[in-house]
């Protein structure tokens, strides 16, 4: 697992759901993959070794803006 220092935080600049707190957020790894932080969801049982999180649409939009998408 990546260390937090290796992640680029794309969301959570203090204007979102949690203000200055640390949730929910989207991070980009050095490998170009994404880490999503949010409330744990029980919508369905994911495969072993995977988990589900739920984040607001506003957080995804903020991440897209940060990436210039």
Geometric angle at alpha carbon 59, from 39 and 8, rounded to 5°? 95
Residue pLDDT, tens place only, 50-68: 999 999 999 999 999 999 9
pTM for the whole structure: 0.76
Residue pLDDT, tens place only, 40-53: 999 999 999 999 99
Question: So where are the chain's domains?
Answer: 4-67
CA dist., res. 49 & res. 64, Å (int):
27
């Amino acid at each position: 697992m990546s260390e937090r220092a290796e992640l680029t935080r794309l969301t959570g600049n203090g204007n979102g759901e949690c203000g200055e707190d640390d949730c929910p957020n989207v991070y980009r790894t050095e490998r170009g993959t994404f880490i999503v932080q949010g409330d744990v969801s029980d919508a369905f049982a994911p495969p072993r070794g995977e988990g589900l999180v739920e984040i607001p649409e506003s957080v995804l939009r903020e991440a897209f803006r940060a990436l210039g998408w």
